[in-house]
Each structure stands twice: as C-alpha cells, then as structure tokens.
C-alpha cells in the first residue's frame, strides 16, 4: 500500500472508476470494513493505492477499470433513485435489466418524477456530468395546476432564493393551457433537490407532473418507460472529450427490462 499522497490515487476514486460504487458510497463501504488492500482490511478511505496493489471488495478481486459507458434510462413514476431505500420503496436499481454491469445514476429524479435518467459505470463521468460548472441544460416537460400568467413567471426567469438557497434563472416557455392545468417546458442548469417543484410552489402553481426529456445533448426521445438504451462510444467520446481507449466501442442497443 502506498501511504504517501503524491503516489497513486485515493482508494475511493479507484473503486469509483472501476464501477464498484460512487466515490461517496465507496467511502462508506470502506468504513464498513468491506474493502481490503493487499490482504488487509482498511479502516479508512484516507489511503492511496497504485496499480500494483491488490484490492478486494466483499472478498472479490477488483479488476482494472472497464471502458466508460453511458446509458439512457426512462425512469417511471414510483421508483426511488437509490440502491436501497430505508422505507422499503421500490428502487430504480432493482428494476434495471439483469445484463447491465454495476451502474451509478447521474443525479436523481424524485419518486414522483419520470423521464430521462443517465446511468454510467464510470465515477469520473458521473462527477463530470453532475458538476454545476459543466452547465449542461436539463429540460423538463412540466404540468402545473393553475392559470399561467407570463408576468408571474418573472421571478423564476430571474432566479430566486428559497429558504436561503439560491436558484439560477430558469428557461421557461408556456406550451398550452388545458382547463385548470398548463404544460410548460422548463430548462435548468443545476438540478438542485426538487428545484422545479419548489420554485413553482412559490408562485402558487403546484407541479403535478414532471418529465425530464433531456440532459445536455442526451435526449429521452421515444424510449419506452422502464427501458434502457446505451449511448454509442463514438457519441460519448465526442460529447465528453474522452479518448478512444477510455470510451467503450459499443453500438447503441436497447436492453429490455426484467419482467
């Protein structure tokens, strides 16, 4: 094991890049005593490792990092975006196809939201896509209850502060009014917890349906609810600036969900 900080990489980062878990989840696994390096269980994630070190998780060897891959997933309403739920609710990860490798979600969609959720086997891609500095626009189809008046949307378009938390300006277009409901297209660049719902609550237009339709250049399109589609390696390289060695060379395919 390499103790000096200038050599190797942090163990949690290595586990994340190998698709074992996100960096934060890997740290929790280490603290739970599930990770061993060179035959010794490590008590803390404050450790650097090199390619020469042998890492095991739950008694299984951790191999070299797989090529980076990215999938589109059409999340249905009623699933929690987490590995396990303390309330026993059904999760996204329990409903993915059995032939998918271990994946992590890019951001989250709450239990009552649906639409595009990106999945990746690479912790570096996850962090890159989630960073606020990336600034990729996330677009949503939003149905609100109430009559929409353009002037009332001004605070959301300017940006506002809710309970001390600052929200960036939203891109909003009104698509149509249908009786007591209205459909809008909303674009945001940060994706804070329940951001759209909380923002529209402040102008007394409660959201009763929320569908993410795109995340940066990646589109939900006609992907059916509950199904997964892999992004081509070439597209992944072009959009994220990956080297050919870093991105998988796979063709786009539809992976059916488990029945």
pLDDT digits (tens, 9 = 90+) for 59-100: 888 876 678 899 999 999 999 998 778 888 999 999 998 888
Is the pLDDT higher at 210 or at 17?
Answer: 210
- Does one domain contain both 141 and 208? yes
Q: Is residue 118 part of a domain?
A: yes
Looking up residue 33, the CATH number of its domain turns out to be: 3.10.290.10
Does pLDDT of 179 surpass 70? yes
Does pLDDT of 141 surpass 70? yes
- Does one domain contain both 193 and 148? yes
3 state SS of 113: coil
- Does one domain contain both 122 and 244? yes
- Does one domain contain both 145 and 210? yes
Q: How large a percentage of the chain has pLDDT more than 90?
A: 58
Q: Is residue 88 part of a domain?
A: yes
Does pLDDT of 201 surpass 50? yes
Q: Please, which pLDDT band fits residue 140 given cuts at 50, 70 and 90?
A: very high
- Does one domain contain both 93 and 207? no
Does pLDDT of 40 surpass 80? yes
- Give the pLDDT confidence score for residue 251 in this predicted structure: 42
- Give the pLDDT confidence score for residue 254 in this predicted structure: 45
- Give the pLDDT confidence score for residue 65 in this predicted structure: 66
Q: Please, which pLDDT band fits residue 9 given cuts at 50, 70 and 90?
A: confident
Q: Report the C-alpha gap between 117 and 138 in whole angstroms.
A: 11
Averaged pLDDT, 202-219: 96
- Does one domain contain both 163 and 110? no
- Is 64 annotated as catalytic? no
Q: Is residue 125 part of a domain?
A: yes
Looking up residue 152, the CATH number of its domain turns out to be: 3.30.70.1560
- Does one domain contain both 151 and 174? yes
Does pLDDT of 5 surpass 50? no
Q: What share of the chain is helix, strand, coil (3-state, %, to 5)?
A: 20, 30, 45
Q: Is residue 1 part of a domain?
A: no
- Does one domain contain both 233 and 207? no
Averaged pLDDT, 147-151: 95
Does pLDDT of 176 surpass 50? yes
What is the four-CA torsion angle of 119, 120, 125, 127, rounded to 10 degrees? 60
- Does one domain contain both 29 and 152? no
Q: Is residue 43 part of a domain?
A: yes
Is the pLDDT higher at 64 or at 196?
Answer: 196
Range of the domain at 170: 137-215
Q: Using an 8 Å Cβ cutoff, are 40 and 208 in contact?
A: no
Q: Is residue 96 part of a domain?
A: yes
Does pLDDT of 3 surpass 50? no
Options 110, 151, 163, 238, the catalytic residue: 110
- Does one domain contain both 113 and 227? yes
Q: Report the C-alpha gap between 79 and 219 in whole angstroms.
A: 20
- Does one domain contain both 53 and 163? no
Q: Is residue 4 part of a domain?
A: no
Averaged pLDDT, 117-146: 89
Is the pLDDT higher at 253 or at 154?
Answer: 154
Does pLDDT of 248 surpass 90? no
- Does one domain contain both 45 and 87? no
Q: Is residue 2 part of a domain?
A: no
Averaged pLDDT, 36-41: 94
**How many domains in the chain?**
3
Does pLDDT of 145 surpass 70? yes
Averaged pLDDT, 195-212: 97
Is the pLDDT higher at 192 or at 184?
Answer: 184
Q: Using an 8 Å Cβ cutoff, are 125 and 22 in contact?
A: no
Does pLDDT of 259 surpass 50? no
- Average pLDDT value for the chain: 87
């Amino acid at each position: 094991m390499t103790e000096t900080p200038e050599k190797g990489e942090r163990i949690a980062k290595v586990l994340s890049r190998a698709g074992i878990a996100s960096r934060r989840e890997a740290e929790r696994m280490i603290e739970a005593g599930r990770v061993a390096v060179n035959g010794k269980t490590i008590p803390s994630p404050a450790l650097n490792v090199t390619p020469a070190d042998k890492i095991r998780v739950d008694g299984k060897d951790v191999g070299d990092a797989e090529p980076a891959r990215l999938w589109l997933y059409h999340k249905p309403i009623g699933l929690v975006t987490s590995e396990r739920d303390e309330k026993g609710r059904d999760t996204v990860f329990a409903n993915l196809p059995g032939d998918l490798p271990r994946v992590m979600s890019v951001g989250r969609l709450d239990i009552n939201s649906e639409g595009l959720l990106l999945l990746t086997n690479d912790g570096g891609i996850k962090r890159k896509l989630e960073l606020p500095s990336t600034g990729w626009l996330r677009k949503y189809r939003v149905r609100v209850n109430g009559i929409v008046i353009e002037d009332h949307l001004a605070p959301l378009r300017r940006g506002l502060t809710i309970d001390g938390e600052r929200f960036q300006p939203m891109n909003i277009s009104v698509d149509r009014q249908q009786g007591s409901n209205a459909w809008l297209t909303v674009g945001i660049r940060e994706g804070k917890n329940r951001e759209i719902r909380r923002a529209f609550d402040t102008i007394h237009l409660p959201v009763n349906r929320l569908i993410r339709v795109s995340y940066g250049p990646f589109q939900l399109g006609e992907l059916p609810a509950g199904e997964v589609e892999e992004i081509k390696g070439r597209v992944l390289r072009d959009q994220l600036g990956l080297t050919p060695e870093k991105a998988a060379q796979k063709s786009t395919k539809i992976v059916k969900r488990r029945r």
